[in-house]
Amino acid sequence: MKRIGVLTSGGDAPGMNAAIRAVVRACIYNNVEVYGIERGYQGLIENKIMRMGSHSVSNIIQRGGTILKTARSKDFMKAEGRKMAFENLMRHEIEGIVAIGGNGTYTGAKIFFEEHGFPIIGVPGTIDNDLYGTDYTIGFDTAINTALEAIDRIRDTADSHDRMFFVEVMGREAGFIAADVGISGGAEVILIPETKMNIAEVAEIIKNGWGRKKSSQLIVVAEGDEIGGVFTVVEKLKEVIPTLEYRVTVLGHIQRGGSPTARDRVLASRLGEAAVTALIEGKNNAAVGLVHDAVTFVSFEDAIHHKKPLNQDLIHLANVLSV
């Protein structure tokens, strides 16, 4: 393999730049030309492909976001768009791609491989940590630390005013962020998609806290919890506890930004280099991951269709620590 392309797709995540840097420098180390593709799969269709060198990734390992930009491409969902992307890759004589992103990125890569047989290795880049085949995804550690810093500050004002705060964190399909942030932030209640907790149970925990003279309480809600988002939760709680006084904070996209932690930089560097090595060795149609601190690979099929379980011990721990 003489030419490899690299792209970032879907939602951005802190550490993507570190992964791009690792891909570029691993290619150079192995005497392989490397090309950056701007705006993900859309950039493939629009031929936004540029040669990269070592200087292209200087001083980016500490930066959040992605220097290659990212997008969700509707055109790539169509066979005509994927055909244009393939033709552009052939025009540049690119022989393999490292695709950094989440489930949508993997799905596009799988279909592209099935239609055109083009070698692609996926790198898990998403703050949600919900991809099967890896213990951690790039951006997760930074996201939970960003959210935790915000929650620690909220705790200060909640304690000062004897108030109850409801904090919504990201996680439409999975509660990994909410679980880690809730436990480390000392939340009384953590609402996540993986568990079924009704409003009456939440209300009982809150009342028990008041009975133990708790002056302030913190409720962490994953945006995808089955009850609904944080505003739905508080509306339903007001029906059960009419006297409830509270404040709501939605952390939103603040969790995606910022300089990546050391853990995310190392993870991104390991997986980016491993992806390049895999392509050179002939692997394709698979995603790289880290399981028990060892680099592993899983097929796109499994990564897409297997649901990554949340450790049930964390759920039990959250219940124990909330008393």
φ, ψ dihedrals at 220, nearest 5°: -100, 130
Q: Give the torsion sign (CA, 152, 233, 131, 30).
A: negative
Measure the CA–CA gap between 209 and 227, rounded to whole angstroms: 21
Active site residues: 128
The full length of the chain comes to: 323
CB atoms within 10 A of CB 14: 31
Which residue spans within 19-72 are E strands per DSSP? 33-37, 49-52
Q: How far apart are the first and last CA of the chain?
A: 58
Residues 6 or more apart in contact with residue 117 via CB below 8 angstroms: none
CB atoms within 10 A of CB 157: 12
